[in-house]
Structure 1
Amino acid sequence: MKAATKLILGLGLVGTLFTSCAGDYYVSERPAEPYYVRPASPYADAYWVPGEWAWRGNRYVYVNGYYTHARHNHVYVAGYWRHTNRGHVWVHGHWR
């Protein structure tokens, strides 16, 4: 049992080390946002979460927005492009 516990703790530690290595992905030019029509609201308290950029296969790809239930006492902060001296990086949206 002690060996299993040590193994689980070791794997957890290694996992956290590798996730901390996943940093920001910079590009020299921001990709153009595609045009698409937002669908009609599917239910009464629906909140539209705007589309975002995701890093996949050495490039940013656009992920369409979606409807979700509004979160009580929270505000959604939309994602945005941040310009740095290394290039442009996408900052993901989140509920605050």
Structure 2
Amino acid sequence: MKKLTLSLATCAAVLLPLGAITLPTAAQAQPSIFIQTAPPPPRAERVPPPRRGYVWAPGHYEARGGRYVWVRGEYVRARPGYAYRAPQWQDRGGRWEYRRGGWDRDGDGVPNRADRRPNNPYRN
């Protein structure tokens, strides 16, 4: 048992300085996804009639397993005082970055901590 503990401690001491083990930090809370190939053009969707108290979240492509997968649009419950920002792909010098959608309160177009925890499902 002592040999196993000593071996694990030695491996950890060797790997930690190399950055092989990473611990989650606040900066990693919303990781960016980068892909080398451009996403396909958005699909045409039939938007159902408006629903009172809901906002239409358009369909978009997400990267899963090294390929693009279409996620259909849907209605999401509206949040008074917030604007919904749809997910989008942006070209960053030949690499495509996926920016998750979400609720934006401060009007800067970016759902972030300044919006006072907008995606908390238990918030009234």
TM-score (norm 1): 0.65
Cα deviation for residue 54 of structure 1 reads 1.6
2:95 maps to 87
* Aligned-residue RMSD, C-alpha: 2.2
Amino acid at match of 1:85: G
Amino acid at match of 2:76: T
Amino acid at match of 2:54: A
**Per-residue CA shift, 1:9-56, capped at 9, x if unaligned?**
xxxxx8737xx4x65131322312112211223x42121111222221
**Counterpart Cα distance in 1 of 2:57 and 2:32:** 24
Which ranges of structure 2 fall in alignment gaps of 5 or more residues? 1-21, 105-124
Identical-residue share of aligned pairs (%): 25
Which ranges of structure 1 fall in alignment gaps of 5 or more residues? 1-13
Cα 1:62/1:92, change in 2 over 3 Å: same
Runs of 4+, deviation exceeding 3 Å: 14-17
Q: Is the 8 A contact 1:76 1:95 kept in 2?
A: yes
Tell which structure's C-alpha radius of gyration is larger.
2
**Counterpart Cα distance in 1 of 2:100 and 2:93:** 19
Name which structure has the greater RCO, CA cutoff 8 Å, separation 6+. 1
Q: Secondary structure of the residue that 1:16 maps to in structure 2?
A: coil
TM-score (norm 2): 0.53
